[in-house]
Structure 1
Amino acid sequence: MASDLLSIGKSGAMAARAALDVTAQNITNASTDGYIRRSVIQAEVSSAGGTGRAADISLSGVRIERLVRNADMFRQAEVRRTGSDSARANAEVSGLENIEDALEQSGVYNAVVGFESSLQQLASDATDPALRASVVESARTMTRTMNIAAQSLDQAGQGLQFEATDGVNQINILSAELARVNLRLTRAADASSDQTTLLDQRDHLLEEMSKYVDVATTFNADDTVSVKVGGVDLVSNGTAKTFSMDVSATDGTISFKIDGAAVTPTSGGLVGKQQALDKLKEVRTGLDTIASTLAAKVNDIQDDGEDLNGDQGTAMFTYSSGTAITAANIKLAFEDGAKIATAPLTPLVSNAGSRDQSNLAALMSGISSVDPAGKTDKLIFTISSAVQGRKVTRDALDAIASTAKITLQAQAGVSLDNEAANLVRYQQAFQASGRVMQVASEIFDSILGIK
């Protein structure tokens, strides 16, 4: 009997000590990012009877059955999925806000309105040098403002491209590390501390990767994981492929590849930046169209009229580089206000100083027909509406992602209160097991002392 008590007490003390070690590990890593709470599962140690008594069961103490990581794979997948959606929405909103600021802070709408207003003021006296100089100055302001707006949009695009490049680098770092974790998992002993630590690293790397692109995971029997992005393998066993990004030289949009194969992720921060760059392309095209259409209309009408010197009108707008007028290269073609063709063209007859404003009226009518101010306002309104709409979506996705994290944290997170209670419980279990062994020793001594 004493020998049985000793083995039972010993098994209980060893189990309690292991449980205390796990509890201490939980407390130590309570604030460690990616750490998942461990629990010890204990089971009875039982043995069958001797010969002819196989049906008899003898309980012989307690043992550690397994070490459990308190994380549900479904909840982890939900955290990755919702986190990826949230990251996409946040990246897109941030990019769209930069585009909105580039347009609004440049003052391009006010500059276009100012140019149209100066022409209307000129109609009060088409020969007034001061009013003509005002038109020239407002035209110069408008072209420079368009240049600034285009440069600001370019800077917003370069910022998005730089951030996307950093995201691509991070994906390659994470995928290479995940491949190394896979290799170590294949060599780790089952239920060992090393294995549970590697599993924490594996899950943490997957969560971090999902912030950049949505990942499809397949968990293998040896606890390694295979990762696909857009249906293409990124990590398989101990091998990680190269994730790369291409930037269009014509419009600045981006696309992605894995070892040269095109992929189309649907979520994650990189997709948000891709969507913002697509919107930037749309805005930039719209601004270029406004600049080129306005310049073409004004130049055509200038050609049909006479300036204050009696000469045929010349183009008011030209470009500083390239082959066509855009918002980035539009500039004023002349500085002399007398070259504004306000009078109708009269071949073979010089009407210097003419007060006939027929061509000025045609100029204002032509500008009104292409409506640069209205189109600029619509362009700004479009991007502003997009920002507000995406913010609503972002807030909703953030709430969903937060709920998923809270749900996982309730299961996998460390509660210091619970762990403190476990410390007391396992310490008392350890002391009780020690007392059992002490009693066994006393009983055994008493038996030996019988005469």
Structure 2
Amino acid sequence: MADLLSTGVSGLLASQIGLSTVSHNVANVNTDGYSRQTVQFSARPAQQLGNFYVGTGVNTVAVQRAYSQYLNTALWTASSDQSRAATYQSLTAQINNQLSGSTNLQTSLDAFYGALGDVSNAPADAAARGVLLARANALGSTFQALSGQFNQLNGQVQRQIGDTVDSINSDSTSIAKLNEQIRTAYASGKGEPSDLLDQRDALIKKVSGEVGVTVVQQDDHTVSLFVGNGQSLVNGSNAYQLATAPNQYDPTRLEIVGKDSGSVITGQVGGGSLGALLDFRTNVLDPAQNQLGRAAVAMASAFNAQHAQGMDLNGNLGGAFFNVGAPQVLNSASNQGTGTLSANISGVGALTAKDYVLRYDGSAWSLRDTAGNAVAMTGTGTAADPFKADGLSLVVGGAPSAGDSFQVRPTAAAAAGFGAAITDPNKIAAAAPLAGSAGAANKGSGSIGGIAVTDPSNAGLLGTANIVFTSPTSYTINGGAAQTYTPGQPINANGWSLTLNGTPAANDTFTLKANTNARGDNGNALALGKVANLGVLDNGATSVGRAYGQLTSQVGSAGSLAKDALTTQNAVYQQALQSQQGVSGVNIDEEAASLVRYQQAYQASAQVISTASQIFDALLSAVRN
């Protein structure tokens, strides 16, 4: 009867473990990362009784978690991609809202050119001129506000980068500690530490959502985590922390480095929310800031050039109408020499939305854009012969050392510095500075087609010029030497350019002189109105309005792609989660069935023990009698 009792006790104990395991599963049904646990049983070795083998009960072999390494790895990858897509979509949505909000640049441009049209209709009207200045200031405020919002978003990104790195370091330290506990638990020979393994897997999933990692299982049941091209985060019980460091050119811009090595790994980080932050900063925010600045430079350059060709109510030629931020030149923190660099925009038509790095190798300078592509330069870099590339003029000086470099950001600060340069409405140069007339006795069909100012600084610009054609193909100016005339080609002198329509005859005359009707003239105001559609950028192919349209289209496209990517990654993540939970998740219905089964087994084992006790009592009673 001792064997029967032992058999009943083994069943009772096995059922107790089963009931405890099921209870643990039910209690953790809502615990994130928990894997369903199961009990593994095996029959005890049978005893031979005569010609038979009689069973002796059950052994509890192990309590194991329902687990698939393949499905968990797929879930970690999906978590990384989903977190990256969610962060990227959130950021692109913010920048899209900024461009389409109350500070919409296109609205400000339309209002400004509308006010300019009112000045064209009434060039002497003080109220119209005042409104134009107000609209110019509003346009400047819009450029500045958009630039400020981009800067705020950039600051938010920098803070999120720092916070994410801190979180990664904290989680990596926790994983390293769990590695040590798991290794110790396995070494004790007491079975699988399921709850510790679940805790570690949950942390790995969290880190995967923060940054793309490679997970390597080790023979001692620990895991190693790597980021980028081999930067270790966790190795056994050791955690290797990441850190942030100022960019070598811009101390407000954070780079990702290995805390121990100090090596920059920003370009190697590609997954999770951290990868999204870095990607958004480089591929959306920086280009948007530069593209906005490019539009500001184009606006100021084109409008100022035409404004300089007009005359204001004081009888003076127009000055700069808009100010704009100058190109930024940032020294590398590792520069050893005393080299200097100055940058100016010399050709707006060739200006891009890129940033550049100018580097000295000890004997020559080379230019690359921030994507690493070589950019051809002309010139020698002196003030008399500056380096020229992509609309920039670069002048180097001092004594640079080999390896020294400078970052050039042509348009990053342009919008922040954009604003009206004049405050006096009388200084709006709405009038044409020169008036032209054809001689009353002219015999040919020549007529004045247009007058343009080519050099506002020419001292003889406003002087009277008498043009006399000695033949249909030659002329003199103020009795000077005869010059050849080619029909259709302009006549140039003293900072002005005159275009004639038709064909002049011999002895025909034309006169140019300072405009004495500047108060009522709108010649230059009409020309300023045409700047709205004037091709300025991309070698004359892109106007200011179209440049802003390119910006909104560029950011809008990024936002649309980010939204689609998030939808896709959400679906992939849910599929990966369902597959993983199909193996590891707790099913209440299954646990209820297991609970009944173990309860009945427990009761049956208790009955076996009771029966063994009754038989033993009967034997004792028989012996006593």
What is the TM-score normalised by the length of structure 1? Answer: 0.92
Aligned: 1:359 with 2:358:
no
Report 1:392-407 matches (<5 A).
Answer: 392-407=564-579
C-alpha separation in 2, matches of 1:395 and 1:275: 19
- Please tell me whether the aligned partners of residues 235 and 241 of structure 1 are also in contact (alpha carbons under 8 angstroms): yes
C-alpha separation in 2, matches of 1:233 and 1:411: 30
- Please tell me whether the aligned partners of residues 39 and 63 of structure 2 are also in contact (alpha carbons under 8 angstroms): yes
- Please tell me whether the aligned partners of residues 179 and 223 of structure 2 are also in contact (alpha carbons under 8 angstroms): yes
Aligned: 1:328 with 2:416:
yes
Corresponding position of 1:195: 193
Determine helix, strand or coil for the equivalent of 2:57.
Answer: strand
Q: Give identity over the alignment, percent.
A: 28
C-alpha separation in 2, matches of 1:366 and 1:20: 83
Gaps of 5+ in 2: 329-343, 345-412, 434-460, 464-513, 537-542
Q: CA deviation at 1:424?
A: 1.9
Deviation per residue, 1:50-98 (Å, 9 max, x gap): 9xx9x98653211111111012111111111011101111100111111
Report 1:369-448 matches (<5 A).
Answer: 369=534, 370=536, 371-448=543-620
Corresponding position of 1:214: 212
Deviation per residue, 1:329-388 (Å, 9 max, x gap): 212111212111122335255736343433333333344223212221221122122212
Aligned CA distance change for structure 1 residues 58 and 262 (closer, same or farther; 3 Å): farther
C-alpha separation in 2, matches of 1:350 and 1:122: 18
Larger mean CA deviation between 296-305 and 213-222 belongs to 296-305
C-alpha separation in 2, matches of 1:7 and 1:156: 72
Indicate which of 126, 129, 136 corresponds to 1:129. 126
Report 1:16-95 matches (<5 A).
Answer: 16-47=15-46, 58-95=54-91
Q: CA deviation at 1:6?
A: 1.6
Code of the residue aligned with 2:277 in structure 1: it is K
Q: CA deviation at 1:247?
A: 5.3
Code of the residue aligned with 2:95 in structure 1: it is I
Aligned: 1:150 with 2:147:
yes
Answer 1 or 2: which has greater strand percent. 2
Corresponding position of 1:310: 315
- Please tell me whether the aligned partners of residues 102 and 156 of structure 1 are also in contact (alpha carbons under 8 angstroms): no
C-alpha separation in 2, matches of 1:435 and 1:387: 69
Q: CA deviation at 1:412?
A: 1.6
C-alpha separation in 2, matches of 1:155 and 1:127: 42
C-alpha separation in 2, matches of 1:320 and 1:421: 74
Aligned: 1:185 with 2:300:
no
Aligned: 1:267 with 2:271:
yes
Code of the residue aligned with 1:364 in structure 2: it is G
Code of the residue aligned with 2:200 in structure 1: it is R
C-alpha separation in 2, matches of 1:381 and 1:252: 28
Aligned: 1:337 with 2:334:
no
C-alpha separation in 2, matches of 1:70 and 1:417: 16
Aligned: 1:347 with 2:462:
yes
Determine helix, strand or coil for the equivalent of 2:414.
Answer: coil
Code of the residue aligned with 2:527 in structure 1: it is A
Determine helix, strand or coil for the equivalent of 2:58.
Answer: strand
Aligned CA distance change for structure 1 residues 315 and 251 (closer, same or farther; 3 Å): farther
C-alpha separation in 2, matches of 1:442 and 1:328: 96
Larger mean CA deviation between 114-123 and 186-195 belongs to 186-195
C-alpha separation in 2, matches of 1:394 and 1:201: 27
Larger mean CA deviation between 78-87 and 423-432 belongs to 423-432
Code of the residue aligned with 1:270 in structure 2: it is L
Instruction: Identify the structure with bigger relative contact order (alpha carbons < 8 Å, sequence gap 6+).
Output: 1
Deviation per residue, 1:129-180 (Å, 9 max, x gap): 2222222111111001111111111111111221222111110000001111
- Please tell me whether the aligned partners of residues 324 and 415 of structure 2 are also in contact (alpha carbons under 8 angstroms): no
C-alpha separation in 2, matches of 1:114 and 1:366: 14
Determine helix, strand or coil for the equivalent of 2:244.
Answer: strand
- Please tell me whether the aligned partners of residues 175 and 200 of structure 2 are also in contact (alpha carbons under 8 angstroms): yes
Code of the residue aligned with 2:560 in structure 1: it is Q
Corresponding position of 2:341: none
Code of the residue aligned with 2:26 in structure 1: it is I
C-alpha separation in 1, matches of 2:422 and 2:99: 26
For this pair of structures, how many residues does the alignment match?
447
Corresponding position of 2:236: 237
Code of the residue aligned with 2:155 in structure 1: it is Q
Deviation per residue, 1:288-342 (Å, 9 max, x gap): 0111121122222222321111012111112589878711121211121211112
Aligned CA distance change for structure 1 residues 112 and 246 (closer, same or farther; 3 Å): farther
Determine helix, strand or coil for the equivalent of 1:67.
Answer: strand
C-alpha separation in 1, matches of 2:424 and 2:227: 60
Corresponding position of 1:258: 258
Indicate which of 202, 205, 211 corresponds to 2:203. 205
C-alpha separation in 2, matches of 1:102 and 1:341: 34
- Please tell me whether the aligned partners of residues 228 and 235 of structure 1 are also in contact (alpha carbons under 8 angstroms): yes
Code of the residue aligned with 1:73 in structure 2: it is Q
Q: CA deviation at 1:407?
A: 1.9
Larger-gyration structure (1/2): 2
Determine helix, strand or coil for the equivalent of 1:30.
Answer: coil
Code of the residue aligned with 1:40 in structure 2: it is V
C-alpha separation in 2, matches of 1:14 and 1:25: 16
Larger mean CA deviation between 349-358 and 380-389 belongs to 349-358
C-alpha separation in 1, matches of 2:124 and 2:533: 22
Code of the residue aligned with 1:92 in structure 2: it is Y
C-alpha separation in 2, matches of 1:255 and 1:69: 40
Determine helix, strand or coil for the equivalent of 2:153.
Answer: helix
Answer 1 or 2: which has greater helix percent. 1
Larger mean CA deviation between 282-291 and 127-136 belongs to 127-136
Gaps of 5+ in 1: none
Determine helix, strand or coil for the equivalent of 1:35.
Answer: coil
C-alpha separation in 2, matches of 1:175 and 1:383: 35
- Please tell me whether the aligned partners of residues 296 and 324 of structure 2 are also in contact (alpha carbons under 8 angstroms): no
C-alpha separation in 1, matches of 2:52 and 2:95: 79
Report 1:273-284 matches (<5 A).
Answer: 273-278=277-282, 279-284=284-289
Report 1:167-178 matches (<5 A).
Answer: 167-178=164-175
